Amino acid sequence: MNSNFVSIQLSKKNKKPLYIQLYDELLQMIRSGYFAPGYKLPPVRKLAAYLSINTGTVVNAYKELEKNGFIFSTVGSGNYVSEQPVTAHSALSYEFDTSNIYLTDITDKDSTVGTINMSSIALNPDIVSVEELKKILIKILDRDQGRAFSYQESQGFIPLRESITTYLRKNHIKTNVNNIQIISGAQQGIDIVARTLLNHGDYVFTESPTYPGAIASFLANGAKIVDIPLEKDGIDLDILENKLKQFHPKLIYIMPVLQNPTGCSYSIEKRNMLIKLADYYNIFILEDDYISELSYRKNPLFPLKSLDRTDRIIYIKSFSKIFMPGLRLAFLNMPEGLSQKLLEAKYIADISTSGFTQRIFDLYLREGLWQKHIDDIRRIYNIQFDFARNTVQQCLPSSVKWDNPQGGLSFWLKLPEYITAAKLCQLAKLNKLLITDGSNFYPRHTDQQHVRISFATLSLQQIGTGLHILGKLLYTAKK
Closest CA to 408 of 427, 424, 389, 395: 389
User: Does 94 reside within a domain?
Assistant: no
CA 68 to CA 88: how far, in whole Å?
A: 9
Q: CA dist 151 to 260, 317, 366, Å?
A: 33, 22, 21
Give the range of the structural domain holding residue 40, as residue numbers without chain letter.
Answer: 3-86
Write out the chain's pLDDT in tens, 479 residues.
666 788 888 988 887 889 989 988 998 888 778 888 888 999 999 999 999 999 999 998 998 888 767 888 877 788 988 865 444 444 434 445 555 545 444 444 445 678 999 999 888 888 888 888 899 999 999 998 988 888 888 999 999 999 999 999 999 999 999 999 999 999 999 999 999 999 888 899 999 999 999 999 998 888 889 999 999 999 999 999 999 988 889 999 999 999 999 999 999 999 999 999 999 999 999 999 989 999 998 888 899 999 999 999 999 999 888 887 778 899 999 999 999 999 999 988 888 888 889 999 999 999 999 999 999 999 999 999 999 999 999 999 999 999 989 999 999 999 999 999 999 999 999 999 999 999 989 877 678 999 999 999 999 999 999 999 999 999 998 76
**Domain co-membership, 146 together with 78:** no
Q: Are residues 295 and 192 in the same domain?
A: yes
Residue 139 falls inside a structural domain = yes
- The DSSP annotation for 108-145 comes to -TT--TT-EE-S--S--GGGS-HHHHHHHHHHHHHHHG
The verdict on 279 and 407 lying in the same domain is no
- Report the amino acid identity of residue 174: K
Crossing angle (nearest 10°) for helices 55-67 and 18-31: 50
Domain boundary among the residues 58, 86, 114 is at: 86
User: Domain holding 336: CATH number?
Assistant: 3.40.640.10
| Pair 29, 145 in one domain | no
Residue 440 lies in a domain: yes
Q: By the 8 A CB rule, do 116 and 434 touch?
A: yes
CB environment 99-136: b (16+ within 10 A), e (fewer): ebbbbbbeebeebeeeebbbbbbbbbeeebeeeebeeb
Q: How many other CB atoms are found less than 10 A from the CB of residue 86? A: 12
Task: Count up the domains in the chain and report the number.
Answer: 3
Is 96 within a domain? no
Residue type, 26: L
First and final C-alpha spacing in the chain: 63
H or E, element range at 434: strand 433-434
Burial 453-470 (b: 16+ CB within 10 A, else e): bbbbbbeeeebbbbbebb
3-state secondary structure of 212: helix
Residue 338 inside a domain? The answer is yes
Last residue of a domain, one of 368, 402, 420: 368
CB 194 within 8 A of CB 217: yes
Residues 354 and 449 grouped into a single domain: no
CATH number for position 376? 3.90.1150.10
Widest distance between CA atoms in the chain = 79
Helix (H, G, I), strand (E, B) or coil at 412: strand
Q: Is residue 97 part of a domain?
A: no
Q: pTM (2 decimals)?
A: 0.80
